[in-house]
Amino acid sequence: MKILFVSPEYPATFWSFKYALPFVNKKASLPPLGLLTVSSMLPAGWEKRLVDMNAAVLKDSDIMWADWVFVGAMIVQKKSAQEVIDRVKHLGKMVAAGGPLFTTGYKDFHNVDTFVLNEGEPSMPQFVEDLSQGRAKHIYTSDEKPDISKTPVPDWKILDKKHYASMAMQISRGCPFDCEFCDIIVINGRVPRVKTPEQVIRELDALYDYGWKGSLFIVDDNFIGNKAKIKEILKAIGTWMRAKKKPFTLYTEASINLADEKELMQLMQDANFNAVFVGIETPSDEALQSCGKVQNVGKDLAEKVKILQRNGLQVQAGFILGFDTDTPKVFEDMVKFIQKSGIVTAMIGMLNALPETRLYKRLHAAGRILQKPSDGNNTDFTINFVPKMDTKVLVDGYKNVLNSIFGAKNYYSRVVTFLREYNMTAKDTKLNFGIKFKALFSALWKLGFREKGKRYFWKMMLWTAVKKPALLAEALTLAIYGFHFRTVLTTTMQGA
């Protein structure tokens, strides 16, 4: 049996880093970890190939080679996924589809031969058996939340690592919190399931043997969802890192209560973590209460961010505009909070109701859902429900926030605010995002001479050289991120 895995293309969003990657001669930020894991669930004798459309061109010859094409996608990849499926069917080949996009939206796709919905571990054995005998069903699904300690090591041999800025690894699934807008608990549940320390070390060994060195994203829904088990895993990773001379620099996603956990932060330092994504959402306690983000309520969130920064973790954060409790004052409050906290990578989107979430069900019951489904892209200017705030006021306010925080003056000022607090503890084997001399000169030329806000760039770099010279690489990396954010914003504004 010949299986072609296809990861559809991501649009140019803040998270794609599309305009930052050329600085370091990379084509994609992260590999399609789900497809690599599914590959390890197939019989050893089957032939397997991978085309990640974010790193390579999908050719008709690739499709014609295969007996089946397996498409794995997230919601934001919907448009490209449909195009791939149409193309595969036009060429007369069979297609199977799985991943978050199809788990919550498979009814939107009418020409897929087989769906593997929800988590793959419970359903893949039966699908493989049926596929072997030429009798694959239309839908394979299970409500079971599988024991991921039995999940195999991803099949790295089908991936060309040279195209990627970072590798990816999963240690746990699920999140104990119940935010109204989030689909994580719909897909992975509220009881975090965690791999064993031994299993995690096997996966680190596999990546090390694969020849990878550099960034490694721990893709967990909430890395500290089960603190006791994660502490044991972090101790094992720390020991492994010391033995291997820290070949990987780790980053992950976690809730803000990480800032209250001194032991956890120290263990993350020992394990060579240097960044964490946190869902801040909004500086408004009223909005946090209304959406069920209870873990953020009543906290000095800006101070929590600074605690994480002082403990060697650059904080990247998600923010949302459009809660029912929001008033026009929220736009100014959002900008002030982001500037004060020094969150350089601040990802702001308008609230959209994702399928099957509590938010979607509430708004649907109230007749507020619009016909346009959410496309998972929170960097455009669309919303899929009727907000309490006037829609034009919301959209215009959102645009003003983006222009403010990504404008060169505020952006570079925020970099300085961050660097002032940041206590770098991780050993980085190379400059962030793999920056080398060619990238260095490219960045200096584009950011220091060609961009409109170049004087703010040089002011930030001079401050860093004088005050925090050890963080010059970090400063330049963040400057490149800023170039990407501004380019995405300009392109999106022009298309709006």
Q: What string of pLDDT tens digits covers the 496 residues of the chain?
A: 999 999 999 998 888 889 999 888 899 999 999 999 999 999 999 999 999 999 999 999 999 999 999 999 999 999 999 999 999 999 999 999 999 999 999 999 999 999 999 999 999 999 999 999 999 999 999 999 999 999 999 999 999 999 999 999 999 999 999 999 999 999 999 999 999 999 999 999 999 999 999 999 999 999 999 999 999 999 999 999 999 999 999 999 999 999 999 999 999 999 999 999 999 999 999 999 999 999 999 999 999 999 999 999 999 999 999 999 999 999 999 999 999 999 999 999 999 999 999 999 999 999 999 986 666 666 678 899 999 999 999 999 999 999 999 999 999 999 999 999 999 998 865 444 444 556 677 888 889 898 889 999 999 999 999 999 999 989 999 999 999 999 999 988 876 5
What pLDDT is attached to residue 431? 45
CA distances from 179 to 142, 202, 288, 436 (A): 24, 33, 9, 41
The number of residues in the chain equals 496
Residue 116's nearest CA partner among 41, 184, 193, 10 is 41
3-state secondary structure of 43: coil
Q: What is the mean pLDDT of the chain?
A: 94
Candidates 255, 264, 268, 274; CA nearest to 228 is: 264
Token pair 């397997």 is at which residue? 48
Q: What is the pLDDT of residue 434?
A: 45
Using CA atoms, how far apart are residues 88 and 6, in angstroms rounded to an integer?
A: 11
> According to DSSP H, which parts of 91-196 are helical?
100-105, 124-132, 184-188
DSSP structural state of residue 278: E
Confidence (pLDDT) at 13 = 87
pLDDT at 430 (0 to 100): 46
pLDDT for 436? 55
Nearest to 455 by CA among 419, 402, 409, 407: 409
Q: How far apart are CA 416 and CA 240, in angstroms?
A: 34
Residue type, 436: K
Phi and psi (nearest 5°) for 385? -150, 170
| pLDDT at site 473 | 87
174: left (phi over 0), alpha (psi -120 to 50) or beta: left
Single-letter residue type at 135:
R
Taking residue 9's Cβ as centre, other Cβ atoms within 10 Å add up to 20
Return d(Cα 119, Cα 151) in angstroms, integer.
11
Report the amino acid identity of residue 488: V
Cβ pair 408, 451 in contact under 8 A? yes
pTM score, two decimals?
0.94
Q: Cβ–Cβ contacts within 10 Å for residue 243, how many?
A: 8
Which residues, including other chains, have CB under 8 Å from residue 234's CB and lie 6 or more apart?
A: 264, 267, 268, 270, 271
Q: What are 358-379's pLDDT values in tens digits? A: 999 999 999 999 986 666 666 6
Interstrand relation of 172-173 and 193-194 (parallel, antiparallel or unpaired): antiparallel
